[in-house]
Structure 1
């Protein structure tokens, strides 16, 4: 009986456990005919999925063996996503009966284990897109997955360990249009490796170990990415065939010379940045090359030698981050469609364009971070340029009308140079606004009368003065004059920008007194006056339109009541940290901040001094009552001082009166 009493509770618990419902894994999401079972720790597809599903996502699970049972016999699906599992076995012939399967993602598995068995997975009946990336596959292993894929158009083999592309690699996938082999260790491509792919248009071989291409002959290819290899040479075979190539990326290689491109090409995009180019050799004068170009374009003559780089359709050319010291203007003779030219971060000391036939359609030129000392532009050159980047050079002198000759220029960066600004433009339409006693410094550049210039960056140019009306007839929206220590602005320096200027940057200029009335700039919304020596702000009228104001790192003690009143009508954002503010002398500002009318992003660093010689406190902790009490205490002290002073004065008078009477008594006694 005792034994029964001991075992009975155990029996009851076992019965309860047997009747308790089994724990189920989280359910898949079903959206119409698409099933999402990602990241559910599954070892196979759930058996209770609806019939007729078209997409099945089993990614990020724990599948190891891929069989019909694993897929719950769902053989009519169109898209199967199995990436990021642990698949190391595939049932041979599994996909043969999946006549509707078009997209198959097997990336991030262990298919290299399966490939060791040297067994083909069988016919991929209808698969058009296959992803085998990140599977540890090395040379020869891809054959077991591609041997029978007659309709395969898109193939990804990214991030594997393939070292060689053999002639036979793609023989079973003749319909391929796009191949990505990014991030392998390819050293060799056998001759004819892609010859069996007449429809191939996109090939990505980036981030490999290819050292040279000496016989490029894929005429049908439209996009070729060879970036991030160890390429020293790219040459096309001598041929009169027309190449369909539109985009060629050769960036981040080791090429010392400009690539030898197909002489009859349709190239639109060419990137040769981050190589080791030191110079560009061009045979012939500008006139000879222009005549040759026009003749060839007119007659489409196939007799052009490969040494002539005819690029009639090229729109984008990137030569940045090389070691070039010079680019002859004749190099651009055969680039009649070029729109973007980037030669930044080289060693170019002089850039010259004097023929108006060159770069007629260029809209963006980037010459930043070179060693430019001279920039020479002819009268009618670069008429389409909209953006010009010249920052980080050694420009000290320019023809003073350099930028006025560019009628469509709207964006100009000339920071980090040593330019001087002319007092006036050459054509002076209003003589009264120029001081006749002022003379333009030699080699100065004018920024007046540039009809479409909206963005101008002049920071770090060692500017000392900003003359009045210097931007006359130039509709700037943004002006950056920062990092010009000691810059002195005249009251009318910005007068030509009354209706246009929206952004003004004057940070880090050691300005102690701002002479310019910013409230006269009716469109001004964003102002940066940080890191200066300002002790006060100029009086701004009620029409101020400023929405964002940065006053960090100045010497401001008090903000005038009228200034705060004018600002708070439009101000939305204010930066005020690192100023020696007085707590009780800024009650209007305190009220503006604390009632959240203005956002102060750096409010935690905005401090003020409550009493003399006291530690700064955060401005949010200060109340008007505290200041009133402080004022009352101050008044009390003053009253006490006055009373004591009065008593001392009265006492002194009484003592003096007493002494005078005493002397009188002494005189009368002697008489």
Structure 2
């Protein structure tokens, strides 16, 4: 193989010449390679000698896999190179200069199954795939497509059209055939409306995150938005959804992942009829994870989570939803309230309530639960000492960062492995920490000046990781550091939140020889943010 021109090739079934600066494949180069099935010419300069290269490719009657990515190919060049390659099953044209595709672009590729067109500059694909009845996987990501209308590729299984400028997705709904489409990715586009999906389909995964999508009450017609009865995953994160149409959730009886964080929800309203009949009776038992974080929720159905018998994880962080007091627990389960209750939900294991403006937590708030993960950080002033006791057997992670917690008794929490007490102005660690088998402790942003050596020995024998940045440690009392450092099994980490990096703690002794008082400075640097020091004079 010469630097710029492919002149010879062996009879192997696979040839790979990526990143060689190759400009031309001579027309007779494959004369002894009739069995060649896989050819990789990625990241070359085939655009220069594309015409002669096309002649060489036509001499390969059994070619199944062809990679022409990153070759600066235009529409005309690609069309020429692909003439008569009827045996091709996999084609990669990503990272080229394709702009407009039409019915002639792939007209000879009757056996094509997988086509990668991502990272071109395409803005039109009119009728481009009509000659590819076996095409199952199509990647159109990172292009400039303004819309996908008249979608009628019934044989397609996976379509990735993410990172375009798509405002409309409209399928041909009058077709009686069942679309084989299982995964549709329209994330990071400009969709205004929920896509107009096929009337009959096997769609399992629908990714619509980071559009400008919302539901319009007077424009919604469920008959126009297709078949979503097989959906397993629906991703609507980062849109403008402020409500769900009546019956919408009920159309997805097998839904197991619903992602709707960072939207405009104020009230999530499921009436008794909708929620019980359309969801539970239609088998919504697979729903295990609900993330409603970072919306503006102020109200929810009182008994929302009781209707999800397999719910495992709930994230309501950074909303304004409270925990119901004992005198509010007789509310009708379908009533819309500003508080929630989840007692005795056997399946619930993880509950995230960060930043929910919680202050009063009833003693019975977590009764009957087997939570392993409870996140209550960013709720300043919250008092949970009594309400937590019923979780002492199961709780493994507890988040109490930025809650103004000064002391807490966790001596009975023998399963607790991870504890966040950051940003609480602690002058010393709670005594009960030395009675449990903690592995991870976060005490960043407190007012710790030292850790008594006896307590340090106890912690060093158990902890695996401790986060310490943001504390003004006294370097006259650094025995704790030497104990941790000598333990070898504990990882002392200071997090630089601005750089997003983890730095190991370091201890250094600096002597100023020119100082008349023989001052010694022992500095413990945590993330380039906090310095502790000790001053001696003689």
Give TM-score, length-normalised by structure 2: 0.81
Contact residue 460 and residue 484 of structure 2 kept, 8 A = no
Q: Which residue of 2 aligns with 1:171?
A: 107
Q: Deviations over 1:345-404 (max 9, x none)?
A: 332332222322324499xxxxxxxxxxxxxxxxxx955432121222334455655445
How far apart, CA to CA, are the structure 2 residues paired with 1:307 and 1:504?
46
Q: Which of residues 184, 201, 226 is equivalent to 1:309?
A: 226
Q: Which residue of 1 aligns with 2:163?
A: 228
Q: Which of residues 323, 336, 343 is equivalent to 2:253?
A: 336
Shift of 1:575: 3.4
5+ unaligned residues in a row in structure 2: which ranges? 331-336, 495-503, 510-518, 526-535
Q: Which residue of 1 aligns with 2:388?
A: 494
Rate the CA distance shift 1:194–1:537 in 2: closer, same or farther, 3 A.
closer
Rate the CA distance shift 1:517–1:140 in 2: closer, same or farther, 3 A.
same
Matched, 1:200 2:120: no
Matched, 1:189 2:139: no
Shift of 1:524: 1.2
Contact residue 254 and residue 284 of structure 2 kept, 8 A = no
Contact residue 460 and residue 487 of structure 2 kept, 8 A = no
Shift of 1:174: 1.9
How many residues were matched structurally?
498
Rate the CA distance shift 1:245–1:395 in 2: closer, same or farther, 3 A.
closer
How far apart, CA to CA, are the structure 2 residues paired with 1:330 and 1:403?
18
Contact residue 263 and residue 295 of structure 2 kept, 8 A = no
Q: Which residue of 1 aligns with 2:310?
A: 408
Q: Which residue of 1 aligns with 2:320?
A: 418
Q: Deviations over 1:119-146 (max 9, x none)?
A: 6333222211001111111112123322
Rate the CA distance shift 1:240–1:579 in 2: closer, same or farther, 3 A.
closer
Query: Rg larger in 1 or in 2?
Result: 1
How far apart, CA to CA, are the structure 1 residues paired with 2:220 and 2:448?
64
How far apart, CA to CA, are the structure 2 residues paired with 1:404 and 1:335?
18
Shift of 1:163: 1.7
Rate the CA distance shift 1:324–1:403 in 2: closer, same or farther, 3 A.
closer
RMSD over aligned Cα atoms: 3.5
Q: Which residue of 2 aligns with 1:454?
A: 349
Q: Which residue of 1 aligns with 2:24?
A: 89
Q: Which of residues 88, 92, 99 is equivalent to 2:34?
A: 99
How far apart, CA to CA, are the structure 2 residues paired with 1:582 and 1:319?
49
Rate the CA distance shift 1:567–1:486 in 2: closer, same or farther, 3 A.
same
How far apart, CA to CA, are the structure 1 residues paired with 2:102 and 2:433?
77
1:519 alignment partner, SS class: coil
Shift of 1:65: 0.7
Contact residue 66 and residue 90 of structure 1 kept, 8 A = yes
Contact residue 321 and residue 343 of structure 1 kept, 8 A = yes
Q: Which residue of 2 aligns with 1:303?
A: none
Rate the CA distance shift 1:398–1:232 in 2: closer, same or farther, 3 A.
closer
Contact residue 262 and residue 295 of structure 2 kept, 8 A = no
Contact residue 259 and residue 290 of structure 2 kept, 8 A = no
Which one has a larger percent helix, Structure 1 or Structure 2?
Answer: 1
Q: Which residue of 2 aligns with 1:369?
A: none
How far apart, CA to CA, are the structure 1 residues paired with 2:471 and 2:250?
57
Q: Which residue of 1 aligns with 2:60?
A: 124
Contact residue 257 and residue 278 of structure 1 kept, 8 A = yes
Q: Which residue of 2 aligns with 1:9?
A: none
Give TM-score, length-normalised by structure 1: 0.66
Q: Which residue of 1 aligns with 2:411?
A: 519
Query: Counterparts in 2 of 1:580-591, with a 5 A limit?
Result: 580-582=472-474, 587=479, 589=480
Q: Deviations over 1:127-180 (max 9, x none)?
A: 110011111111121233222323211011111111222322223332211111
Rate the CA distance shift 1:108–1:543 in 2: closer, same or farther, 3 A.
same
Shift of 1:502: 1.3
Q: Which of residues 581, 590, 595 is equivalent to 2:486?
A: 595
Contact residue 96 and residue 125 of structure 1 kept, 8 A = no
Contact residue 455 and residue 477 of structure 1 kept, 8 A = yes
Q: Which residue of 1 aligns with 2:236?
A: 319
Shift of 1:521: 0.8
Matched, 1:272 2:166: no
How far apart, CA to CA, are the structure 2 residues paired with 1:489 and 1:307?
49
How far apart, CA to CA, are the structure 1 residues paired with 2:123 and 2:430?
68
Shift of 1:586: 7.0
Q: Which residue of 2 aligns with 1:550?
A: 442
How far apart, CA to CA, are the structure 1 residues paired with 2:289 and 2:263?
19
Shift of 1:466: 4.1
Rate the CA distance shift 1:89–1:101 in 2: closer, same or farther, 3 A.
same
2:261 alignment partner, SS class: coil
Matched, 1:358 2:278: yes
Contact residue 423 and residue 468 of structure 1 kept, 8 A = no
Query: Counterparts in 2 of 1:141-156, with a 5 A limit?
Result: 141-156=77-92
Rate the CA distance shift 1:215–1:590 in 2: closer, same or farther, 3 A.
closer
Q: Deviations over 1:417-449 (max 9, x none)?
A: 233334559789xxxxxxxxxxxxx94433543
How far apart, CA to CA, are the structure 1 residues paired with 2:252 and 2:135?
27
How far apart, CA to CA, are the structure 2 residues paired with 1:187 and 1:536?
62
Rate the CA distance shift 1:147–1:159 in 2: closer, same or farther, 3 A.
same
How far apart, CA to CA, are the structure 2 residues paired with 1:382 and 1:268?
15
Contact residue 262 and residue 294 of structure 2 kept, 8 A = no
Q: Which residue of 2 aligns with 1:262?
A: 198
Which one has a larger percent strand, Structure 1 or Structure 2?
Answer: 2
How far apart, CA to CA, are the structure 1 residues paired with 2:301 and 2:109?
61
Matched, 1:64 2:9: no
How far apart, CA to CA, are the structure 1 residues paired with 2:250 and 2:381?
45
Q: Deviations over 1:436-466 (max 9, x none)?
A: xxxxxx9443354332222122221222344
Q: Which residue of 1 aligns with 2:71?
A: 135
Tell me: higher relative CO, structure 1 or 2? Use CA pairs within 8 A at least 6 residues apart. 2
Contact residue 573 and residue 601 of structure 1 kept, 8 A = yes
